Each structure stands twice: as C-alpha cells, then as structure tokens.
Amino acid sequence: MDEITTDTYDEVSPDIELFGKYELGKLIGIGAFAKVYHARNMRTGQSVAIKAVSKQKIVKGGLTAHIKREISIMHRLRHTHIVKLVEVMATKAKIYFVMEFAKGGELFTKISKGRFSEELSRRYFHQLISAVGYCHSQGVFHRDLKPENLLLDENCDLKVSDFGLSAVKDQIRPDGLLHTLCGTPAYVAPEILAKKGYDGAKVDIWSCGVILFVLNAGYLPFNDSNLMAMYRKIYKGEFRCPKWTSPDLKRFLHRLLDTNPDTRISIDEIVQDPWFKQGYKEKISPDFDVKDLGNNQNEKGLNAFDIISFSSGFNLSGLFSDYYDISASDERFLSAEKPDKIIERIEEVAKRKDEKMVIVKKKWGAKFVGQNGNFVLVIEIYRLTDELVVVDTKTTEREVGPSREIWREKVRPELLAMIYQPGETVADDA
C-alpha cells in the first residue's frame, strides 16, 4: 500500500466523530491513498490510530486486492510486537482502519538521531525477529520491513506495522516462489532484483539484516545516489561494517546479508545464533489459524472483506462495532437467523390484511410490494460464515399516505430484532 509518513501536521480535525464511537484528533500521517489520524474512543477514552483510505483512489489505483489482503492479515495476526487492528469501518467514500496507537512514533525517527548501542540494537532485533518469526509461522510474509514501518509504543517496545505489501502462502506459484516485485530499494533482497522468484521468508530476513545494520551503524549498508549502482552493490552483497562492530555481530550480519537465499540464515538458525541468544526470551502469542488468508474467488458467498471493498455506499459499521442503528433507506447488517426465518418474519407482516403486500421470493432473498406500489422492500441475503449472514435491505416509500408507517412501525422493528450483536451466542441452528 501507500507509504505513510509520520510528520506532525498542524491540521486538526475539529470534533469529527466516526459512527458516534471515535473522536478524530490531529492528522499524524499522510500518503497517496490514506491519511492517518490520532483518535480517541469516546466510551473508554483509549487512544487509537485511524487510517482513512479513499475507496475511489483504491479502485482507480487497482489496489482493491491489496486492501482486502491487508485487512485480512491484520485482523488475524495477534502478537505483542505487531500493531493490532482493532476494527474496520466503512462509509460510502472511505474505509477506516482503527488500529492500536503507537505513542512513540517510528523507529526511523529515533535512529535518525544517532546509532544505537549494540545492546539496544540487539533488544530491538529480538522484538523484530519475534514478530517476523510469528508472521512466517502463520504463512504471512511482510515484504516491506524497514525502520519507517516499525513503530514504538509508550514503553519504547517495537511494533511492526503496514502490511499493505504483505503476501500469504496462497500467492506462492507452483515453483514454490513469490514473483511480485515490491519493497523499498535500500532494503530489497538481491533475489527480488534477479526477477526469478523468491522465498518470502528469506527476503524478510534480508530486510531484517539491513535494519540491524542500520541500528548498529546509523547508516545503510547499501547506499548510492545512483539507484542502479545501489542495486549492483545489493546484488553483489558489497558492504562494510563500521569499526565498532563486534566480531560476533559482524559474523551474524554476514549470515543475514548472504546474497544466496539458499544459504542465508533462517529464523530457526537466528534464534540459535550466539550473538542473538544473549538475553532473548520468546514472546508467546495466541495461535491464530490463518489458513484462509488467501483470496479464494471460488468460495461460495461473500466474506467481510469483499463487502468492505466492493460496497457501493453503505455504512458498514454494523459489521465491526458493538452497536448499529438501522434507520436509513439502504441498510446492511449481520444476523444469526437463518435466511428463510428472516423472510418468514417479514411475510408475517405482509400477510396481515391491512398491509396487502405482494411477495416475490428469489434465490437471494425476497421482494415485497405494498400500498399499490407505494412501498417496495427488497431483501438480499448473503452467507458470511456458517453461523452468520449479511442482510442487505433497500426500501422505496412515498412521502404521502400510510406507506412510510409500514417501514418505520412494522417492518424495521422486525429487522432490528434480528441484528447480530458481537459477543452474543449464536444458536446452533442459526
């Protein structure tokens, strides 16, 4: 995805509220496709970061698949040193990523003020490898690791962010390799430059090696004002460690920045390396099953990320927040009811003599017409999971006559009662 800078801007969003839940504050980052704001949860007072992404720019930039993948990956990864995605919300124009707020800013800002001691470099590298190793164990490859994408929390602990260029195992071709060219030039692995396919885990390890070099040296191992000259240095692995680098660290860096991915050190070997092992304690994080992270277009029904990416303009907060008020003429919400039960409830309203509604059942739902055509309700139902469905309603009603009362007083309350609230128990027969 687009690169987000974290310079401080004077622009402040005055008392803007999102879905009555988050109060937007200062703009803290901006990129070609997104803006990042500091925000506050109005109920808990907790600080969060909210990345607002333009749907129009996503479509025009051909980034729909990237956004879906980023949401899917971040939604499932749970690790002490990975920025947590709290929830995703969307309006007609934007998608909002509500994320854990890293109060300490970018690691890049800290290292730009001067190199770290070897001990501090090791501390941050421990945290980086803990997070990267966890991602790899879950079949996720970041592919754009750099100090700008490493944030710091209030305790100055590291948090890996920005999974916009990440890949998952489902993207691996039959040759066992990834082939998409991506990454930041100074941190890109030589095998990516060779354009012959690459192992996602090995390119992440190379980037980690560049990061460790920067932490210890205060400058890049491969750097040149001429991009092609820099690429030649990367391809040949031409770098020199500064004189203050200890022998153990120098040897370790050469294993990380091995131009041959087949002999480059692995995550398992990293944690056993004498330099790395000093003071290392693995962080235990919940083991989330992410085998379904791929973009499988053959699955029946829709998933939540299809709904986000392809919505033509609905408030989707009901899919991701604790409260949703169904009040507009076009609605979309989750329900744990069976599709036929949903239709039956509305049929009960329609069968009342005073309503005289005509019902046309469809494979995807039903259409209700009443008041001599003055009232039309279309209900479409999509399977989201084995237990939940997405209910999409569209109503047309005239301002005059009793047609508006049908929706407000009789039909809408029935639908309101069927909205699934996160945290409630889903019945076995739902």
Cβ atoms of 288 and 76 closer than 8 Å: yes
Listed in order, strand segments (DSSP E) in 138-191 are 140-141, 150-152, 158-160, 167-168
CA dist 99 and 80 (Å) reads: 14
Query: What is the β-pairing status of strands 17-18 and 22-30?
Result: antiparallel
Torsion angles phi and psi, residue 252, rounded to 5: -65, -45
Residue 149, Cα to own-chain centre: how many angstroms? 14
Question: Per DSSP, what are the bridge partners of residue 398?
Answer: none
Which residues make Cβ contacts (< 8 Å) with residue 133, sequence separation at least 6? 267, 270, 271
Query: Rounded to whole angstroms, what are the CA distances from 135 to 141, 167, 290?
Result: 7, 10, 10
Q: Is 386 a catalytic residue?
A: no
Cα–Cα distance for residue pair 159/32, rounded to 1 Å: 23
Token pair 């049908």 in the structure block, residue: 406
Identify whether the C-beta of residue 213 lies closer than 8 Å to the C-beta of residue 240: no
Taking the C-alpha atoms of residue 60 and residue 175, their distance in angstroms, rounded to an integer, is 32
Instruction: Provide CB contacts within 8 A for 96, sequence distance 6+.
Output: 18, 50, 51, 52, 53, 88, 89, 90
Quickly count helices (H) and strands (E) in the chain.
Answer: 14, 16
Catalytic hit among 2, 15, 144, 199: 144
Is 99 in contact with 108 (CB distance < 8 Å)? no
Q: How far apart are CA 403 and CA 409, in angstroms?
A: 10
Give the integer Cα–Cα distance in Å for 225 and 228.
9
Q: Which two tokens stand for residue 267?
A: 């995550």
Say if residues 191 and 261 touch (Cβ distance below 8 Å): yes
| Distance (Å, whole) CA 251 – CA 236 | 17
| Angle, in degrees to the nearest 10, between helices 200-217 and 118-137 | 170
Please identify every residue annotated as catalytic: 144
